[in-house]
Amino acid sequence: MMSIIPFQQAKFVELVCLEPVFFASRELSDTYYTEGTIGNYALTYALGLVNSAYRLQGQATGRPTYKEDFEAIAQTFYILPASPTHGRVTFRFERFNALSDAYWYAMTNNRVATAREDLPFFRRTGKKPNSFRASNFPQTGRFRMIERGNKFQTVVFGNYQLPDYIRVGKFLSKIKVNILETFDVIPLPEGNYQTKAYLNVADLPPQTEILSFDLISMPPAPILKNLHFRGAAWQVGEIVVPADLQFCGGSRING
């Protein structure tokens, strides 16, 4: 049985990194690693199709709002996570230093205290003033970033017009968007398939049976590659993906 296709056409798109790209995919000691992919949620925000609040407050800080943000376009647009065009990614390391230039400072709980008058108060009373309280803002460390010049590929479903350039990552790095070709989306019957595309595990329909895969563990959801699956599928050019992909459309637990 073939699934109903909400998308008639899809675009094969190339993304060219014009600047180093950084996401905090993994944190090991004082080094913050970017994985060799660009998530489809990040790309959707970067394309300007949805917006999120600049600052979350109150109860909204307890969970992400991807499902609410993508609800308006979930039936008319979808994009795959971007995979490296040539199968490998080159990286660069950069060191950052956010220490103060003040005459006096001291390292406290993951932050720099610059109010020297707080030090006698802390020694005398044992109470921590505001400048000594723990903070989740690292002061020194290293970034592993995707080097400029890397090329990624993705598939965009739907008839939305794409911009020539987008900005992604923590530093809003510039990326060139090239539409290489447009294909019809062809439905395939249920069967066993293997795909070279990268897939967001949170977007896989629950009726798709996962047989084997390689995992890229990164927030907000793991990315699957070399997926072997059983179920209905869509074909876009030479790329085959599970049918009925949709933002936050999965109901899986632990994959």
pLDDT digits (tens, 9 = 90+) for 113-171: 666 555 565 566 655 555 545 555 677 889 999 999 999 999 999 999 999 999 999 99
The tokens for 253 are: 């637990």
Task: Provide long-range contacts, Cβ within 8 A and 24+ apart, for 207-213.
Answer: 207/231, 207/232, 207/244, 208/242, 208/243, 208/244, 210/255
How confident is the model over 240-254, as a mean pLDDT? 79
Q: Report which of residues 255 and 25 the model is more confident about.
A: 25
Half-sphere exposure of 54 (CA within 13 A, CB side): 0
- In this predicted structure, which of 16-25, 53-62, 79-88, 204-213 has the lowest mean pLDDT? 53-62
pLDDT at 6 over 90: no
- Residues 6 or more apart in contact with residue 201 via CB below 8 angstroms: 221, 222, 223, 224, 250, 252, 255
CA pair distance 128, 69, nearest whole angstrom: 40
The reported pLDDT for the residue numbered 140 is: 81
Q: Which class is domain 9-96+141-242?
A: alpha beta
pLDDT digits (tens, 9 = 90+) for 149-162: 999 999 999 999 99
CA pair distance 199, 202, nearest whole angstrom: 9
Q: Report which of residues 6 and 181 the model is more confident about.
A: 181
In the chain, list all ranges with CATH 3.30.70: 9-96+141-242
pLDDT at 98 over 90: no
Residue type, 75: Q
CB atoms within 10 A of CB 223: 26
CA 182 to chain centre: 24
